Amino acid sequence: MTQNVIISHHIVEELSAAIEAVGPDRLFVLTDATTLELCWPVVKDFSCLKGAQMITIGATDEAKTLESLAAVWQALSEAGATRHSLLINLGGGMVTDLGGFAASTFKRGIAFINIPTTLLAMVDASVGGKTGINFNGLKNEIGVFNDARTVVLDTQFLRTLDASNLRSGYAEMLKHGLISNDEALNELLTFDLDHVDYAALSAMVGKSVGVKERIVAEDPHEHGLRKALNLGHTVGHAFESLALADGHPVLHGYAVAWGLVCELYLSAVHCAFPTARLHQIRHFIDENYGRYAISCKQYDRLHELMTHDKKNTAGHINFTLLGAVGDIRINQQVTKDDILEALDFFREG
């Protein structure tokens, strides 16, 4: 089943049609504490949501746990949800990931609709069928592939975002530009994140989602080309897991941005990615995301975390690297010394 992704201009009509297409016996809306306050008021008076039962979980990635998942299952069960019920996930990537997994597993699967409210969720988490939770200190360790019936992207929600969360999502757009073409990347590198033009950003979101949709359509279960979407994530997830373990979590997109610096360095060393582009992107990321403070004493721990990446095979860490913008090289293996050099470049370059 092809995922129905709508770049919304009339959310009332589009959401109503999406719900009607499912024809649920009961309707549920999942939010976290933040989206309940900031985003639910935007849609709560829609007639198509009349009688919907609310389920709310804690905010931030720290709530993306087995306990939160069980709380959603419990709420669905106690409210009499059946296999013909519908769950609407209204929130960022944590909500769409966890809510999608809850729906995919409750009574062996009920329908769900995603309404992503953060830039990160719009261009990444809510599109492509990945659902899941963090487990045992590792990002997205448990989950399934399962498409939402519909994803409704309405950029009006981006006005509720603070600058850090906007930048977090923008890092995934940068990644999409890097695996796409020079024109797309140049547009992203010249966009002013300090003075956001929301109309321009809306058009860029549409292009960015299009890049992901094309790749996912060709490789829905990540056997080949979809690994292109892992650019920046092997090192980025290690940064993210380290920060979480240290009790100072960082936003996903910031970790990805920092991971891009490391993996583009590896690309320059192993695949002749242009060094001028590397330094241009490094400068943009330093300016907009700062630099994660790591010491060489943490290198072994970071390397160990990279060995847990789900795209690895037979104990080998598999990177997605680039020969140039749009020249994707999947399943690239490098030595531990190479990885430590990339971390040196990140810290000191």
Which entry of 14, 172, 240, 263 is annotated as an active-site residue? Answer: 172
By DSSP bridging, strand 138-142 and strand 86-91 are unpaired
Clarify whether 223 is annotated catalytic: no
Clarify whether 130 is annotated catalytic: yes
Alpha carbon of residue 90 to chain centroid:
15
Clarify whether 50 is annotated catalytic: no
Clarify whether 108 is annotated catalytic: yes
Clarify whether 20 is annotated catalytic: no
CA-nearest of 310, 123, 113 to 216 is 123
Which entry of 64, 130, 167, 176 is annotated as an active-site residue? Answer: 130
From residue 11, give the alpha-carbon distance in Å to each of 46, 56, 126, 141, 201.
9, 22, 17, 33, 18
Which entry of 176, 237, 277, 282 is annotated as an active-site residue? Answer: 237
Which entry of 64, 233, 277, 282 is annotated as an active-site residue? Answer: 233
Clarify whether 237 is annotated catalytic: yes
Which entry of 222, 227, 240, 318 is annotated as an active-site residue? Answer: 222
Which entry of 50, 108, 221, 297 is annotated as an active-site residue? Answer: 108
Which entry of 175, 252, 277, 282 is annotated as an active-site residue? Answer: 252
Clarify whether 252 is annotated catalytic: yes
- What sign results for the dihedral spanned by CA atoms 35, 41, 47, 51? positive
Which entry of 230, 263, 277, 282 is annotated as an active-site residue? Answer: 230
Long-range contacts, stretch 19-22, CB < 8 angstroms, 24+ apart: 19/48, 19/86, 19/88, 19/113, 20/48, 21/149, 21/150, 22/86, 22/111, 22/113, 22/149
Clarify whether 44 is annotated catalytic: no
Instruction: Point out the residues that are catalytic.
Output: 108, 130, 172, 212, 222, 226, 230, 233, 237, 252
